[in-house]
Structure 1
Amino acid sequence: MAVWRLLQILYKLGYLSFTGVFHLLRIIKQDGINAMLLLRMAEKSHGAEIALIDSKETLSYRELLLGSEKLALILSTDFGASEHTKTAFLCCNHAVFVQTLFAASRTGTAIYLLNPGMSQNQFDAIAAVHNFDLIVFDEEFERLVTHTPHRKKIVKCTGSGKTSLKHLKERLKRPEVRLQRSSRSKIVLLTGGTTGKPKEAEHKPSLFNFLNPFAALLDELDLRSCRSVYIASPIYYGYGIAFLFSVLALGKTAVIQERFDAGQSCALIRRHQIEAVSAVPLMIEKMLNHNAGDLLSLKCIASGGAKLNPGLIEKTELELGMSFIIYTARLRRA
């Protein structure tokens, strides 16, 4: 049933032409079914087009795929990532994090997405329970990672020094070794907040679990008509990563920034003439209050992560027009 659902979505994406089917079967034979499959299919059709924009770089689909392939090899050969390991992420929204997510899925490792706003005690408790084989983190969260007694291998995603994944990726010209195929990678969400015990929601296998959100975004938001999408939602939330996968699978441009700031977000939307945005309700309210005029290029807002206030819907319609659509996404938990 899941494979049939995947084929239906690939058909909607326009990837099941005669040559598309041939390309799909070749990818599955070589790599397996994982998140990298979506990126490879998108790169075949949109290679030179812009895939991702963050505060530091702009990547085409070809560059995004190549970087992800390099990182998959690095994670596998240098850090032992495989179907038998667990890899935790403590990262904000940026391009290297996105590439490393695709790379980790390709290796088959279990991916744990953690809220970097948690306390040291919370992180210690999670690390003790899950016994991560590898922790990937942004430099600003180094203290959290290095001060826990429950760690094995660790690596900076970005930051200073020659040992970060960003630096290692730039040094590697092109992957020379093909990894074993894998369809077993899963995503585990540990994002229950910064107080109390984080909730755990396991998504296995990772690609199949996001099929329903893909279909909903395709059918209800019509993202196919949008050129660029701003993902304000944290990628480490299930909603954020589902939206990211959907936008890239469609061959659109995803715009992200490490942390949400209302002023910067409004400026991004105006500068790139963004047509869709994913955000939690509080972000929507802050952007409207900052400068609603910057948001006039938007066709829809996909809201998730919290309940929508009817007053916010009314305010959005008043400021941006009655044709404006708000969609509340619900990511099914296992």
Structure 2
Amino acid sequence: MLTWPEETMYEGIAAVARERPDSRAVVSDETAWSYGDLLAESRSLARGLADLGVSDGDVVAVWLGNRPEWIACQLATSYLGAAMVAVNTRYRTHELEYMLADSGASVLVTERALLGRDYHEMLSTAVPETEAQSPDEFDPDSVPGLEAVVSLEPTADLPALRGYDDVLETGRSRDGDGFEPATDPDAPAAIFYTSGTTSDPKGCLQSSRSLLNHSTHVAEYLGVTEADVGVATLPFCGIWGYNTLFSVLATGGTLVAQTHFDPGETIRLVDAHDATYLTGLGVMFERMLEHDAFESSRVETVDTGVVGFISKGFDEELFDRIESTFGFPVVQPYGLSEANSQIFVGEPSDPAERRKRVGGPPIHPAIEAKIVDPETREQLPVGEEGELAIRGYLLADGYLGKPEATAEAFDEEVPGSGATGESENSSSGRWFYTGDLAEIDADGYVYYRSRLDDALRVRGFLVAPREIQTAIEDHPDVRSCEVVGAPHPRHGEVPVAFVVSDAGDVTPEGIERFLESRVADYKVPEAVEFVDEFPTTEGPNGEKVQKTVLRERVRDRFEP
């Protein structure tokens, strides 16, 4: 197993390419790249981006589906010493504009449309200068700092856009000019935005040292090798999808890129490519099992799989069905953007009773964990529930441009605290306090319980209810709003809004239409209920809304 403790994302994959230049790296319906092809594409793209002014320390935003070009963008930005912002493929105009401004991205790489969403149309709303300026004149007041927009499919109605192929060709013309890759593994390589527990999304700064090593350790823990073929169902823009894709490439395996999850298409790709490695949410596997195209013989090559039930809540019947039909031992992962995905994962050889819990042992001995009192942050005894804290190489460097939030979530403590997993491999005394309720058992297995606050896990994405509430409260006829999560048979957990309004003609449909252009579709409440007031209780700091009462009201709302 290769490890790269001192190399960047680009240099790490370049090491694989030198050993396996002709082996298949990334495959899609339109593309089949060897490792040599992937490296050449990334290098040329890096030089083309450099021609647009991207250099060490800059930020490039990437708003693409699971395409080979997405991977090339990550390696190209790493080559330049720049950081790539992974833009959620479901974002709409408000979220895109916020992310571009907050990250300070100088270049955006995007495509024409995905999942029926017109990216160019949303882009023209968020950055109207794309309709009025040429590429050389582009200087938007709407998003200061954005210097260029590159699209896989440039169109005449947005004259400011540059073509991806044109940027690539510019880079190819510069091959051989002595342009050398950056070498600092501790520089930010990727930025993942998470809503966390506040209304403002936060950008988690992840370095190559964190991302490349962790992806490699995930592969080693799961037994993924150069002989494996993985199908990418999870979005690359999320930390789980990211670690999954690089766990394949870091070992020299083959990645089958699926632009977005579709159950019938996933079945076809697994069958066509004899895939052996498959990860996804429990609801994804459920949709495959229920699809007309599903036959167990079409997925019999899969022998390694990680299934996340956290978004829907554990379903023992589905767990058993996946395991018996797909034929691999199901393990459940725990992770988050601030510390990578699949941090604690059940051992495939563990009894099913253990694997039916979210989490497991640390996937590498350098990962430490402890359970603390959420108020005092004093360590709690083994077996007692409390807030989970994590330490090790895999932590983000903090939140972009948010020193107070960083100081609140990350602190320093000298090694020697007796935490689970502590070893000479510990990288520092920094702890990250996750905001998650968990426990550690006598064997050192870490098991997730729930969020300490009210955050929702919707279609695999963490969503702060306050973010949805704020958007709804911008409606002129809404006085106040509370959002809670409700179990859903298809999407796992979905938001439900309780609204207090003084207007008699406002409707649930009107609220939903109001949100459609403002937030990602998974943040639009599945149901809106109007109430005269919220149930409250008196606390030390005044009245507090009883969200447990609201959750109970919608607990069976979406029963199949």
Is the shorter-chain TM-score for this pair beyond 0.5, marking a shared fold? yes
Q: Secondary structure at the match of 1:223?
A: coil
Gap change, CA 1:309 and 1:197, over 3 Å in 2: farther
Alignment-derived partner of residue 20 in structure 1: none
Comparing 147-156 and 172-181, the one that deviates more = 172-181
Q: Does 1:186 align with 2:163?
A: no
Q: Secondary structure at the match of 1:189?
A: strand
Deviation (angstroms), 1:69? 0.6
Q: Secondary structure at the match of 2:306?
A: strand
Alignment-derived partner of residue 87 in structure 1: 60
Higher Rg of the two aligned structures:
2
- Residue deviations 1:126-167 (CA, integer Å, cap 9, x gap): 333333211111122223333322152233341146932234
Alignment-derived partner of residue 24 in structure 2: 50
Counterpart Cα distance in 2 of 1:234 and 1:73: 26
Comparing 86-95 and 135-144, the one that deviates more = 135-144
- Residue deviations 1:72-129 (CA, integer Å, cap 9, x gap): 11111x2211223221111111111111111011111122111131221222223333
Structure 1 residue corresponding to 2:15, chosen from 41, 49, 52: 41
Comparing 248-257 and 297-306, the one that deviates more = 297-306
Alignment-derived partner of residue 69 in structure 1: 43
Structure 1 residue corresponding to 2:104, chosen from 131, 140, 154: 131
- Residue deviations 1:236-273 (CA, integer Å, cap 9, x gap): 10111112122111110100111211111100100111
- Residue deviations 1:12-53 (CA, integer Å, cap 9, x gap): 23x7xxxxxxxx89xx7xxxx311112111111111111110
Q: Verify the 8 A CA contact 2:61 2:100 in the aligned structure 1.
A: no
Alignment-derived partner of residue 295 in structure 1: 299
Counterpart Cα distance in 1 of 2:79 and 2:38: 14
Deviation (angstroms), 1:274? 0.4
Give the letter aligned to residue 159 of structure 1.
E
Counterpart Cα distance in 2 of 1:118 and 1:212: 27
Gap change, CA 1:186 and 1:168, over 3 Å in 2: closer
Counterpart Cα distance in 2 of 1:180 and 1:254: 24
Q: Verify the 8 A CA contact 2:309 2:315 in the aligned structure 1.
A: no
Q: Does 1:145 align with 2:123?
A: yes
Give the letter aligned to residue 176 of structure 1.
G
Comparing 226-235 and 178-187, the one that deviates more = 178-187
The structure richer in helix per residue is 1
- TM-score scaled by length of structure 1: 0.81
Structure 1: gaps (5+ residues): 1-11, 16-23
Counterpart Cα distance in 2 of 1:312 and 1:249: 31
- Residue deviations 1:176-204 (CA, integer Å, cap 9, x gap): 231353422431102549xx64343221x
Give the letter aligned to residue 256 of structure 1.
A
Gap change, CA 1:329 and 1:300, over 3 Å in 2: farther
Give the letter aligned to residue 55 of structure 1.
D
Q: What is the alpha-carbon root mean square deviation over aligned residues?
A: 2.7
Gap change, CA 1:45 and 1:180, over 3 Å in 2: closer
Alignment-derived partner of residue 3 in structure 1: none
Counterpart Cα distance in 2 of 1:100 and 1:126: 18
Q: Verify the 8 A CA contact 1:72 1:103 in the aligned structure 2.
A: yes
Structure 2 residue corresponding to 1:217, chosen from 207, 219, 224: 219
Structure 2 residue corresponding to 1:208, chosen from 207, 210, 220: 210
Give the letter aligned to residue 70 of structure 1.
S
Counterpart Cα distance in 2 of 1:107 and 1:144: 29
Alignment-derived partner of residue 159 in structure 1: 153
Provide the identity percentage: 20
Counterpart Cα distance in 1 of 2:204 and 2:47: 28
Alignment-derived partner of residue 488 in structure 2: none
Counterpart Cα distance in 2 of 1:154 and 1:273: 40
Q: Verify the 8 A CA contact 2:228 2:248 in the aligned structure 1.
A: no
Question: Between Structure 1 and Structure 2, how many residues are aligned?
Answer: 303
Gap change, CA 1:42 and 1:329, over 3 Å in 2: farther
- TM-score scaled by length of structure 2: 0.50
